Amino acid sequence: MPQRKLLDVLNGLKTSPPPIWLMRQAGRYLPEYRETRRKAGSFLDLCFNPDLATEVTLQPIRRFDFDAAILFSDILVIPYALGRNLRFQEGIGPVMTPLQADDIEALETGDLHKHLNPVYETIRRLRAELPKEKALIGFCGAPWTVATYMIAGRGTPDQAPARFFGHTEPQGFEKLLQTITACSAEYLIRQIEAGADAVQIFDSWAGVLDEKSFEAWCVRPVTEIVRRVREKYPEVPIIGFPKGAARHYDGYRTRTGVTALGLDWMVPMIDARRLQAEGPVQGNLDPMRLRAGGEALEVGIDTILDGLGSGPLIFNLGHGITPDTPVEHVHTMVRRIRERG
């Protein structure tokens, strides 16, 4: 089998240049994505259409020759598969009926894989069509982050509705986290069975929690997902991305068991180096530097390569690429990383 650089790094090796992929690398900044999105109809139709989801996953690989593809889907397919009335509204994002405590017991877990089968089919097709040297990444949302959208019914600035719910309905909230945790672990296992080489757990709202809540609502559920996945696939790498976690990054790898840490752009380099001493890290270019281009982009790239390039590093952004990022800036980024070696 051809060497997959991303897997080498996840196994603790340094590669030069480091492997590159970007969160949201298949997205609205690409004209070919926008065209495919128009064909699909709704965003969910695109996620659940294996032909089109395969196509948009492959588009950034063809254009930029990234070292890994990440499945095109969304972290909220789990609540959709649990029977919540998810839709994506233009200019707003994901919207669903806010979850009440009485709704938790009624979540429909029996048809989980029936709803998600198109995702598994997409992964099978991707593994067949991807160049053999390219890694394929599957993913899920972390239970806390998924729960925030289910409770509020949409994204909010600081996820106050979910934080309040967790404190005032602790039993119901724990049941909700347990349900999402079990479903997410099964979801990742099925993705691996279909052909994913590695998986990432996105905890996009980890940064809004206090210390006790972070441990209970972020660390414990992710630890359980990792445990369940490892029971079936002990060798498959798992990337944890607790965005905004700040000092909570310390010990996160040890407590959860994840293989690698995804770092957001706010992690200082001195902290990133310390975390890399414990194992592979991924990140952490500010998406606004990529959008800006020029000297801002060059400085950002060089800072990461100078600071983390001597250890196991996956070059990525500190969060997803923005829709208004010029395509040429991505080409420039890839060239600079690979020319530096």
Quick: pLDDT tens for 264-318.
Answer: 999 999 999 999 999 999 999 999 999 999 999 999 999 999 999 999 999 999 9
Which residue segment(s) compose the domain that 85 sits in? 5-340
Catalytic residue, from 74, 103, 271, 302: name it: 74
Strands 198-203 and 281-285, by their bridges, are unpaired
* 3-class secondary-structure state, position 68: strand
Catalytic residue, from 4, 24, 84, 220: name it: 24
**DSSP assignment, residue 284?**
E
Closest CA to 26 of 34, 14, 15, 38: 34
Provide the percentage of residues in the chain whose pLDDT is more than 90.
96
127 is catalytic: no
With beta carbons less than 8 A apart as the criterion, state whether 131 and 68 touch: no
Q: What token pair was written down for 77?
A: 């397919």
The pLDDT of residue 341 is above 90: no
247 is catalytic: no
DSSP lists the bridge partners of residue 69 as 136
Mean predicted lDDT score pLDDT of the chain: 97
**What does the pLDDT look like over 155-208, one tens digit per residue?**
999 999 999 999 999 999 999 999 999 999 999 999 999 999 999 999 999 999
**Residue 250: pLDDT band by 50, 70, 90 thresholds?**
very high
Q: What token pair was written down for 23?
A: 């969160």
149 is catalytic: yes
DSSP lists the bridge partners of residue 198 as 137
**What does the pLDDT look like over 52-82, one tens digit per residue?**
999 999 999 999 999 999 999 999 999 999 9
Give residue 5's pLDDT: 97
Sign of the torsion formed by the C-alpha atoms of 208, 242, 66 and 193: negative
- Could you tell me the CATH number of the domain that includes residue 131? 3.20.20.210
Give residue 3's pLDDT: 80
Q: What is the average pLDDT across 111-121?
A: 97
Catalytic residue, from 28, 127, 273, 338: name it: 28
Q: What is the average pLDDT across 205-221?
A: 98
Catalytic residue, from 29, 80, 120, 149: name it: 149
**Residue 92: pLDDT band by 50, 70, 90 thresholds?**
confident
Q: Based on the structure, what is the number of domains in the chain?
A: 1
Catalytic residue, from 4, 29, 33, 37: name it: 37
The pLDDT of residue 210 is above 80: yes
The pLDDT of residue 2 is above 80: no
273 is catalytic: no
Give residue 1's pLDDT: 55
Element (H, E) at 262: strand 260-262
74 is catalytic: yes
As a whole number of angstroms, the distance between CA 257 and CA 272 comes to 18
**DSSP assignment, residue 322?**
P
Burial of 38 (0-12, 13-18, 19+ CB in 10 A): exposed
Closest CA to 107 of 138, 150, 66: 150
Strands 87-89 and 93-95, by their bridges, are antiparallel
